[in-house]
Amino acid sequence: MRFAISREDLIKPLTLVAGVVERRQTLPVLSNILIVVEDGQLSLTGTDLEVELVGRVTLTEPAEAGEVTVPARKLMDICKTLPDDAQITLQLEDDKMILKSGRSRFSLTTLPATDFPSVEESPQNLDFVVQQSELKRLIDRTSIAMAQQDVRYYLNGMLFEIQNAKLRAVATDGHRLAMSEAAADIATDELRPGYYSA
């Protein structure tokens, strides 16, 4: 695996993904982020087994595909010390990830990507159409009750429920609850009542 990226393009998704990775873990791989390069796209994934965040960046230069995990905090600290306009090259050599930028060279330990736990995605996909103004109204009316930085991660989002050709949004911070509904254009053969978290 080998790819080149600007510091600016890497630091944005890295900061988001590293935020979910905790310092003290029962499994060493949970302090790492999963780096996947495939089809000209870089994917960074971090998890604490409750929350999984994925950040994606389209690579502008040719890259060699591959996947590996590296320590999130160390990679983050290295990137923060580099100049804002730095170009970074990351290359997997044996069991080390070599990071080069200008005259700087860093070596990070890796763990196999197969050891990294992944949250299974829901096999149910449903496409539907809702007017932008209706979706905005749903979000505006329910987001006021949504928690912002609660340790109970499930309160930091909004529930979307689809039932009887209606889209319902619900949010709570544990003290107050908001709900709003809107009509949605859903084909009846596709309609399976369900809950969708966003």
DSSP result, 12-54: HHHHHHHTTS-SS-SSGGGGEEEEEEETTEEEEEEE-SS-EEE
Report yes or no on 23 lying in a domain: yes
pLDDT in tens, the chain (198 residues): 999 999 999 999 999 899 888 767 778 899 999 999 999 999 999 998 878 889 999 999 999 999 999 999 999 999 999 999 999 999 999 899 999 999 999 999 999 999 998 776 655 666 777 888 988 999 999 999 998 877 777 788 888 888 887 889 999 999 999 999 988 776 545 545 555 544
Do 73 and 163 reside in the same domain of the chain?
Answer: no
Give the residue numbers spanning the domain of 173: 132-197
Give the Å distances, CA to CA, from 33 to 45, 48, 52, 110, 156. Answer: 5, 10, 10, 10, 22
Report yes or no on 155 lying in a domain: yes
Q: How far apart are CA 196 and CA 126, in angstroms?
A: 10
What is the CATH classification number for the domain harbouring 14?
A: 3.10.150.10
Domains: count for the chain: 2
Report yes or no on 110 lying in a domain: yes
Residue 198: per-residue pLDDT: 47
Report yes or no on 159 lying in a domain: yes
Give the Å distances, CA to CA, from 182 to 135, 144, 159, 196. Answer: 8, 17, 14, 15
Q: For residue 98, what are the β-bridge partners? A: 91, 107
Amino acid at 68: V
Do 90 and 152 reside in the same domain of the chain?
Answer: no
